[in-house]
Amino acid sequence: MDGQKDMIREQDERDPAAVPGRRRNGSMGAGILTGIAGTVLTGMIALGVFCTLTDTRLRFIDKSAVRGSGPILTDEAVAKISELDAYINTYYYDETDPEELRNGIYEGFLAGIGDRYSEYYTAEVYQQTQVGLTGNYYGIGAGLQQDKDTMEVSVKKVYEGTPSDTAGLLEGDVILSVDNTEANSMNVTELVLLIRGEEGTTVHLEVYRRETDEYLSFDVERANVTLPSVDHQMLENGIGYIRIESFEKATAEQFAAAYTDLETQGMEKLMIDLRYNGGGLVDSVVEILDQILPEGLLVYIEDKNGNRNEYRSDAERFVSLPIVVLINGESASASEIFAGAIKDYEYGTLIGTKTFGKGIVQTVFPLSDGDAVKLTTAKYFTPNGNYIHEVGIEPDIELVYEYLDPDGEEYDMQYDNQIQKALEVLNGAGDKK
């Protein structure tokens, strides 16, 4: 790779339709779907915008080393494509775009693998997927999700102080169109390309608000948006609370700042909330684990040839506090690396429900013409060698989520039964051994 550092992201492959927002039902807010994954199951993408490469390495390779398995484009296959083109050209009722037809061939070729995580990117979409690496965006500062069956696009999260917040968009709003383009006519990843744009320009959104049965119009000014992935607060009895929504490039730094702030407030115990966190950069989660765990293996990755890549903690710093980690079925990939390491080291208590179960790695290979291909290339394992793909990680204390104040209009963690259980555990904990 000649100096090019692998950038690995954990893929958010949850069913986005099942991810609730922070509402009176008490769910803790979906993590920003980082969206290459979203192009497969069509999940939430930050309009800020993050369309992230989750569970993915960006790899530059010697093209001369690439070898095909055999002749796929046989004379018969080429003749059949030409025959199909002739029928389309002669009988299809509307005009067609040759470039789009070729892209369809490439996409179909990758679909032939039968792996929902492997796919083809045009240069434009590929560039979009890179945006999330910095955390800075020219967009409107909201999160979207798309139902994989109906293609309906809705607002899953509105970030405070961003253009979407200022304009009055709300969680749950259904996006009908973007600048007169129907939102359900394309993948949410492509829709994001329409929403992003130059700073100071506006994007026109037509929205349906189910709660009030209203059709609304918004002209939202695009801005340079930096979306936080960590928030924190001090709770009772010296318990610090840190929520990680996704593992982005700046997340480890944000985590360290949050931890330091809580320390100055007298933190003696720590609660880390990974519910609805669908993943992010492996480098990010490893860096955070390095701040928490003692010296040792954190996670390792193996490809089909048995080549192994290990990520380790150097123990230059680690947390010597009682720790509780909250997880659920929407905690995926990088969140599972985190939870798996905590569990294997017996360094904290996992509370909630079994995690999603994604233990495979994708690699993005840039192509010579600017397009790219993403392929599943490896498996990852917890420190004890557990392969959690389609298995998930069981909590130490299983507790199905329940919001204890059904009449509340706004989410309040004092009515969150999982947080209350975590407080109970931490209040009963002694010093970390």
**Which sequence positions are flagged as catalytic?**
333, 358, 362
Q: How far apart (Å, rounded) are the C-alpha atoms in residues 259 and 123? A: 39
User: CA angle at residue 44 from 42 to 49, to 5 degrees?
Assistant: 115
What b/e sequence results for 325-356 when a residue is b if at least 16 CB atoms lie within 10 Å of its CB, and e otherwise? bbbbbbbbbbbbbbbbbbbbbebbbbbbbbbb
Cβ-proximal residues to 76 (8 Å cutoff; 6+ apart), any chain: none
Which two three-digit tokens encode residue 31?
């993590």
Q: How many CA atoms lie within 13 A of 324 on its CB side?
A: 25
Instruction: Write the DSSP assignment of 391-408 as a string of letters.
Output: T----SEE----BS-TT-
- 145, 174 contact by CB (below 8 A): no
Which two three-digit tokens encode residue 79?
């003749």
- Through-space distance between the first and last CA atoms of the chain, rounded to whole angstroms: 42
Q: How far apart (Å, rounded) are the C-alpha atoms in residues 257 and 235? A: 17
